[in-house]
Structure 1
Amino acid sequence: MAMGEHLCSDPQEGVIQYDLEYADAHHIDCPHFAELNGWRSYFYRLGLIGQDPRRYGGMGFGNVSHRTDNNAFVISGTQTGHLPLLCREHYVLVEDSDINRNYLRARGPLHPSSEALTHAALYQSSPDIHCVLHVHSPLLWQRAAALQLATTPPRVPYGTPAMARAVAEQVRAAGGQEGILAMLGHEDGVLCYAADVERAGTLLLETVVDAHRLDEHYYTHHA
């Protein structure tokens, strides 16, 4: 088992801007794998997770996670956005995190996604949050105000402690166990969080439908 601590960087998924202590492991427990991976595959088909040479400079986008114990969580690994279907070997366990230190400790076959620190902030902000979905939706991102979604400031870049803190602040302000927020400093980046996988996936889909209804209403009255 190899271990190391370094600033992790991945040109295919943007810059992973945290200090990572990583232990290579061929297998990790993922209690909610079937549900989490099923929704991840569905959002891949919808184009909310993926990798496209026409979008974001060809970098992979989107990831999913689920709390396992206390503030530990399983998250899809880096460089998996292009895959239509993930296996257990594409997930990694984040065992510990410290936003103030910009630090993660993880174990698994892959390094964690670039947004792992933001996922950690969500789980730390409320014990009621057990699933986080990070997708890229131009529709939701551009309609955030009309949909009354919480937002992080445009000046706060993704994958940073500042983004993690901004997200946690919005979640605590909302005071609930579920919600959707748009990261205005992360093009098209949207986070959905809830008490379980099914509710998170359903909430995200409901919000996409609401956004389409807004567009239909606009074009009906302005055509």
Structure 2
Amino acid sequence: MDEGYIKFQPVWKKTEAFAESKLQNLLKYRQHCYLRRWIGAYPDGIGFGNISERIGTGETFFISGSATGGIPVLGPEQIAKVTAVVAKENKLWCSGPVVASSESMSHAVIYEKLPWVKGVIHIHHLELWQHLLHKVPTTPADAPYGTPEMVDGIVHLLETTDLPERKLFVMEGHEEGIFAFGKNLEEAFGVLEAVVDAPHFRV
């Protein structure tokens, strides 16, 4: 697993932490995901999973920072703000006390293509990933996480499948990787809960 490795070119402006009052919902659902072990770290210390929330009506968003998956309780000092993305050039602009997550371009394209989406969650769950692979919208096997190829794969799914309604997809080229989104983080979290807790899927 190389989840912690940023593959895009970050243009990062280091700043003080953002006000906790603006991050309460994001931090709340990140904690829910951590407690369910959907976000965390592998035995070798490499973190996995990330979560974001749109800021206002634009395409900027707050997201958990790179290499923060293994931190038990996230605070404002582990949150970045993504302000612009040019996927074709593999570049991303962010600010905050940490660099934005390695999956930030995937979050960004969902916000760009679906203006109604306010929350996006990326988790790792091997058994669920195996269960859902090709049963729900699935990105190409040759599209690595955090790359323009993955962005293209997500756009293709948004345009050619029921992904906007289903709000859930898996990443064949990123083992264990699953994305969910919704009109807010509560809905995105609920999408994941619904599939994990379904009677036909128990782990």
SS of corresponding position for 1:100: helix
In 2: Cα distance, 1:120 partner to 1:39 partner: 19
183, 188, 197: which one aligns with 1:195: 183
Q: Which has the higher contact order (CA 8 A, sep 6+)?
A: 2
Does 2:147 match 1:160? yes
Match of residue 64 from structure 2:
76
Match of residue 214 from structure 1:
200
158, 178, 185: which one aligns with 2:173: 185
Residues 12, 79 of structure 1: 8 Å contact kept:
no
User: What does 1:100-119 align with in structure 2 at a 5 Å threshold?
Assistant: 100-119=88-107
Shift of 1:214: 2.0
Residues 76, 91 of structure 1: 8 Å contact kept:
yes
61, 65, 76: which one aligns with 2:52: 65
In 1: Cα distance, 2:116 partner to 2:21 partner: 17
Match of residue 24 from structure 1:
14
Structure 2 counterpart of 1:170, one-letter code? L
Residues 178, 200 of structure 1: 8 Å contact kept:
no
In 2: Cα distance, 1:129 partner to 1:31 partner: 21
List structure 1 runs of 4+ shifted beyond 4 angstroms.
29-32
Which of structures 1 and 2 has the bigger CA Rg?
1
Q: TM-score, normalised by structure 2?
A: 0.90
Match of residue 136 from structure 2:
149
Structure-2 change in CA distance of 1:12 and 1:183 (3 Å): closer
Measured on the aligned residues, the alpha-carbon RMSD in Å equals 2.0
Structure-2 change in CA distance of 1:145 and 1:158 (3 Å): closer
Shift of 1:189: 0.2
Match of residue 219 from structure 1:
none
Q: TM-score, normalised by structure 1?
A: 0.83
Q: Percent identity?
A: 31
Structure-2 change in CA distance of 1:180 and 1:158 (3 Å): same
SS of corresponding position for 1:169: helix
Shift of 1:33: 1.9
Does 2:111 match 1:123? yes
Shift of 1:26: 0.6
Does 2:37 match 1:47? yes
Shift of 1:215: 4.3
